Amino acid sequence: MYEEFFGFNAKPFDLLPNPDLLFMSKTHGKALSYLRYGIQERAGFILLTGEVGAGKTTLIRELINRHLENVTLSKVFNTKADSQQLLTMINDDFSLETEGRSKATMIRDLNEFLIDEYAAGRRAVLIIDEAQNLNTELLEEMRMLSNLETDGGKLLQIILVGQPELRQTLDTPELLQLRQRIQIGCHIQPLNAEEVKEYVYYRMERAGNRDAVQFTDQALYLVHEQSRGIPRLINILCDYLLIDSFANQKNTVNEADVSDIVTELDFERQYWQSSAPSTSDERHQGAQPSKKPGTHASGKNPIGAKRLPPRAEKVLRQIRGVESRIEFLEKNLVRDSEKTNLENVERLERLERQVSRIEQQLEALFNMNASNFRGVGRETAPQPTPQQQTAPAPQKPAAPEPVTPADSAEEGDGDIPPRPRTGYQPQDRPPVRRGWAYRLLFGSD
């Protein structure tokens, strides 16, 4: 829709895994090198993992299209299958007959085919995408398929491609033998902030016009923050930004534009509510589900807690976004030039005004429907019955005061001085201040 306006010959942020648009970041380049090395050395098993949308499939297509020589390839992209169906798909892609054949016959046919390929000097490679869907039994069968080998190496090389959950499955005791046979393993990391900037302009350049749209540094920082460096989410966000720029007939994108799109898309809830990205220390192991304080791994509310109304959740997400941008600008104030500092001060003032408006929205929410927020994060105490309300409360006998030698005498009587009070006393406690945020979350006193 906007291609002609910006001078593109294709959509720069298309979601299809197109190797022609692959941005070879440091982590993608390393993964590609590992894959090529593993195939060249006839490694039996090669493992490639990455978050959803990290570019695994695009990288595999780049490998297939440009980096495989003298290789016979079988590709499996549908892994929600049983053992018979999986073997049928493998043999089909190797151009072997499968109609009416039993599982044992297909395994024999595959073994004969692999021997013939080796004799002809060709490598047989099996690529299984979305391998995190394979259960323990199917993964063990893949290990059995790789058992055929010669002194020169494996006759069938298997590349397992999947999300970090695949590593968790491989860590089970039942798959110890398979895990020990993985000779090459790599994990695609998210892009860092500088790579996100390069990625955005690279994609526009590959689409025909690198300078079609100018993104401010603050806008690109927010794109990185919201996408967390995942290429697919960068594409989604930037595609919406180009549509917005086209609708407004402009060729610049600033921080406010990104913030508006993030709010309209409800980006955090839509794309990050139930998953968390891998961190740099997860290079060689599966990512664990993040657990924020007070939440479960599933992302549900704590037991006994009430959900905030949707409008309040939206305002709270806006507050978190404003806080992160303020932190970014405060850091820039330390290292940027005087001119840039002045611009940052002005932006901080605008953000402070935005925070003030959000506070007013929260006050309005509290005044409109305060009862919806009572009991959030705590269970409601049981209400007394009418009989309990009217019945007099039983009187408990007062506990006797402990008596010590010092207490047994009257203070100031004789030579015994009064005992001084020590430690923290109730009257020393400062008054508790409970503002609108407390009232919003827990109700009025």
Token pair in block for residue 73: 């390839």
Helix, strand or coil, per DSSP, at residue 9: coil
Residue 379 buriedness (CB in 10 A; 0-12 / 13-18 / 19+) = exposed
| CA 88, 94, 100, 103 torsion-angle sign | negative
Q: Cβ(260)–Cβ(301) under 8 Å?
A: no
Q: Is the pLDDT of residue 416 over 50?
A: no
* Residue 381 reports pLDDT greater than 70: no
Domains of the chain with bracketed CATH: 26-188 (3.40.50.300), 192-273 (1.10.8.60), 310-319+329-372 (no CATH)
Tokens describing residue 61: 């297509």
What does the pLDDT average to over 226-251? 95
- For the residues of 249-284, what is the DSSP string, one character each? T--EE-HHHHHHHHHHHTHHHHHHTT-----GGGTT
For the stretch 183-200, pLDDT in tens is 999 999 999 999 999 999
Reply yes or no on whether the pLDDT at 299 is more than 50.
no
pLDDT of residue 443: 55
Angle (CA) 190-196-201 rounded to 5° is 140
More confident residue, 227 or 313: 227
Q: What is the pLDDT of residues 300-350, one digit of tens each?
A: 333 333 445 555 655 655 565 555 556 555 555 544 455 555 666 666 676
Residue with tokens 């979305």: 130
Q: Model confidence at 147, in pLDDT bands (50, 70, 90)? A: confident
What is the Cα–Cα distance from 220 to 193, expressed in whole angstroms?
8
CA dihedral 383, 386, 392, 398 (to 10 degrees): -10
Rounded to an integer, the average pLDDT of 407-426 is 47
**How does the average pLDDT of the chain come out, rounded?**
77
Pull the structure tokens for residue 159: 């590349």
Is residue 240 scored above 80 in pLDDT?
yes
Q: Is the pLDDT of residue 371 over 60?
A: no
Residue 272's pLDDT is 82
| pLDDT higher than 50, residue 54 | yes
Task: Output the pLDDT for position 346.
Answer: 66
Q: Is the pLDDT of residue 298 over 90?
A: no
What integer pLDDT is reported at residue 161 of this predicted model? 97
Distance CA 98, CA 78 (A): 17
b/e map 401-415, b = 16+ CB within 10 Å: eeeeeeeeeeeeeee
**Concatenated DSSP letters of 308-371:** PPHHHHHHHHHHHHHHHHHHHHHHHHHHS-HHHHHHHHHHHHHHHHHHHHHHHHHHHHHHHHGG
Distance CA 238, CA 1 (A): 14
Structure tokens at 26: 């440091």
Confidence of residue 149 (pLDDT cuts 50, 70, 90): confident
Compute the average pLDDT of residues 281-309.
37
179 token code pair: 């895990």
Q: Which letter, b or e, does each residue of 120-148 get, where b requires 16 or more Cβ atoms within 10 Å of its Cβ? A: eeebbbbbbbbbbbbeeebbeebbebbeb
Specify the pairing of strand 149-150 against strand 153-154. Answer: antiparallel
Stretch 148-169: mean pLDDT: 91
Q: What is the pLDDT of residue 410?
A: 43
